[in-house]
A and B are shown apart, each in its own frame.
Chain A
Amino acid sequence: MQITLNVRRFNPEDQRGVHWQAYEMDVPEHFTVLDALMQVREEIDGTLGMRCSCRSAICGSCAMRINGHAKLACKTRIIALGGEGQEIIVEPAGNMPVIKDLIADMTPFWDKIRAVEPYLQTDNPPPPREYRVPDEAMEHLTGVMACIMCGACVSDCTVLEAELKLGKPYNETFLAPAALAKAYRFVGDPRDEHQKERLEKLSEPHGIYDCTHCYECVEVCPKDVAPMDRIIKMREMAVENGITNNTGVRHAKAAADSIKASGRNYELTFYPKSVGMFNVRELIPVMPTGVSLMKKAGTHLIMPHKAKNADRIKKMFETVEKRKKKEAR
């Protein structure tokens, strides 16, 4: 089939800077994007820089952006992108500096992985023989253990992208999905004895509460690690460990209280309840938005709507909460 590979090129030793190069080629139907890129490098243009190794979606070397989304080039079949006549846009992974062409510099990626201390931490001496844990205590970790560190989730993380656009240095940005999924691997490990300390650190700025729920990482992960689901799970675990003195938890509590009381979320109270009712430094900048919202929505905000028979919703809250408490005992 005839295709065009449109590749984002960059060579720091070349005056042209970032530019696009199109390769028109005839490839067999079974080809992946990586097969096509390798054919370019071997037969058309030996200067094309790329990173790959196993060609079997195991090594994680060939993560790059294909048609705007992070994918493993070796796992992406051209026919699945539309096949015959398609133009395929290939760029290096996002949210990382580029070394050359499709080769991203993964240094910030590894720095973030290191920041979550990805190794078992214990205070007590290890048991004389091996650690014994029941299967079910480890099963929930198999998903995160499948991570191949390809960086696809970091490439497409929308929070990290916004922060880098603001010009923040990497060490002052969101820990991002891969490192947080790795953190979950140890937070959830029954042998690790620093769960609470880890969760306390992860609840600080740049940690679990900076995630914006966009699901990009879940969508692009080639190994179904579902980093965002792990982040959300750690928020639940942090609360269970009594780590509640932060905006994220107060926000969730404001939401729950509002729904419990009226069956609806009442957005105007969320901000002051989350940052603190007397937190003048945080509240002053949002005053103009509050005023324009009041002007816009008027009585809808001053006298918030309520579900009909809202007491039934409150009762449902109590039913489920009671059940949860009973089972925890």
Chain B
Amino acid sequence: MALRYAYWPGCVAKGGCPELYESMAAVAEVLDIELIELHEASCTGFGVLSEQNPELADTLNCRTFSMAEKLGLPLLNICSTCQGVMSAANYKVQHDQAYLDRINGNLAEEGLHYSGNVTVKNFLWALVEDIGLDVLRSKVKRPLHDLWMAPFYGCYILRPSQKLGIDADKPRDTYLEQVIEACGASPVDYYGKTKCCGFPIVTMNRVNSLSMAGDHLLEAKGKGADAMVTPCPLCHLNLDSQQPAAAGIKHQAIGLPVLHLPQLVGLALGISPKELRLNRHVVSAEAVVMKAATA
């Protein structure tokens, strides 16, 4: 039976990174996942809206949770940042009934209500916890044996670990490596994999921001990575779209392709690179496609 989720793809998957949205749709079909998109949901505020008005950001996120609750489904996202902001909002209202009541007071204006019981999952977590790596392995048609992939998580899906439910039972800070292996590829271990891509400060301090992206890309490349893979489209903006600029700041050529998580999984599942929109990146993913084809 198909897994069903209320689906929040996030703004970037429908803006700067449409290839993420399209590749996820292709992968969902092969993995027999039914995605019911919440077209009326709003942006999570990506941690910025809450700086000026935390209650507003929490209200908007609970508004989205209430829509999933109405459908009786867990909420799936494809963005580390969405995951982090939604997990934090959910944690807050689940641990403070008075605050949840207050938020529900705001939601009542629209005739909505949130009880506090929705599970919010990034596709990365769903792959390991709901679909299962054995099922994923059984569906792999094109094991990516020749590919060395550098995982890049994105801060919001790792920290604060308590609010994201990362513990010994759910070692979600190791899932990306596990998925890479399940796809037949080899994970590259490097210091920067859990660090910050720099995107949040790109407008405030562009040099620091791009320097962060450049450091991690160069380190991964130096450790032998063919490409990077990330569950976060905001990281992707800094690591891929801004890669030429980052290379300029670090005074070194980089040229490391950066894949969205569904693109990596889709390649292994045998979906065509074109359908996965692997031709839509700023840094060409041609070398990855070639290596995958010879697998």
Contact = CB atoms under 8 A, between A and B. Distances in A.
A193 interface: no
A282 B203 CA distance: 9
A296 interface: yes
B134 interface: no
A318 to B, nearest CB: 9
Contacts of B160: 215, 218-219
Given A162-B215, A255-B45, A259-B49, A312 B110 contact: yes
Contact of A236 (B51, B206, B215, B241): B51
A205 B205 contact: yes
A207 B245 CA distance: 24
Nearest to B81: A213
Contact of A259 (B43, B195, B206, B208): B43
A259 B51 contact: no
Contacts of B295: none
A213 B200 contact: yes
B110 A159 contact: no
B264 to A, nearest CB: 19
Interface stretch (A2-10, A22-30, A113-121, A263-271): A263-271
B63 interface: yes
B48 A252 contact: yes
Given A214-B195, A297-B16, A289 B49 contact: no
A315 B43 contact: no
Contact of B15 (A166, A232, A297): A297
Contacts of B202: 271
A141 B209 CA distance: 31
Interface in B26-72: 39-43, 45-56, 59-60, 63
Contact of B282 (A235, A252, A292): A292
A212 B200 contact: yes
B143 interface: no
A251 interface: yes
B56 A320 contact: yes
Contacts of B39: 307-308
Nearest to B213: A162
Nearest to A226: B160
Contact of B53 (A216, A308, A321): A321
A88 B115 CA distance: 44
A62 B241 CA distance: 41
Given A214-B195, A259-B45, A166 B211 contact: yes
Given A266-B15, A293-B16, A323-B106, A159 B201 contact: yes
A156 to B, nearest CB: 9
A158 B216 CA distance: 11
Contacts of B191: 68
Interface string A243-267: 0000110011101101100011111
Nearest to A304: B15
B52 A267 contact: no
Contacts, number: 202
A293 B15 CA distance: 10
Nearest to B201: A212
Contact of B159 (A211, A214, A232, A307): A214
Contacts of B282: 292-293, 296
Main DSSP-derived SS at the A contact region: helix
A300 interface: yes
A215 B155 contact: yes
A259 B203 CA distance: 18
Contacts of B18: 297-298, 300
A319 interface: yes
Contact of A162 (B40, B60, B212): B212
A271 B106 contact: no
A158 B51 CA distance: 20
A57 interface: no
B51 A315 contact: no
Given A213-B47, A292-B244, A296-B281, A305 B14 contact: yes
Nearest to B283: A292
Contact of A251 (B45, B48, B208): B48
A300 B59 contact: no
A209 B203 CA distance: 10
Given A158-B212, A214-B155, A267-B237, A259 B201 contact: no
Interface in A7-57: none
Contact of A212 (B63, B209, B241): B209
B17 interface: yes
B11 interface: yes
B242 interface: yes
A271 B203 contact: yes
A166 B16 contact: no
Given A165-B211, A255-B48, A320-B55, A247 B110 contact: no
16 contacts: A68-B191, A161-B195, A166-B207, A174-B208, A210-B205, A215-B155, A218-B159, A251-B48, A255-B46, A259-B45, A271-B202, A274-B203, A275-B203, A315-B110, A316-B109, A324-B53
Given A210-B205, A247-B203, 5 more contacts: A212-B196, A215-B158, A255-B46, A289-B242, A296-B280
Interface of B: 11-12, 14-19, 39-43, 45-56, 59-60, 63, 106, 109-110, 155-156, 158-161, 191, 195-196, 198, 200-209, 211-212, 215, 237, 241-242, 244-245, 280-282
Interface of A: 68, 158-159, 161-163, 165-166, 174, 205, 209-216, 218-219, 232, 235-236, 239, 247-248, 251-253, 255-256, 258-259, 263-268, 270-271, 274-275, 282, 285-286, 288-289, 292-293, 296-298, 300-301, 304-305, 307-309, 312-313, 315-317, 319-321, 323-324
Shortest Cβ-Cβ A-B pairs, 6 listed = A215-B159, A214-B196, A274-B203, A308-B39, A158-B196, A214-B155
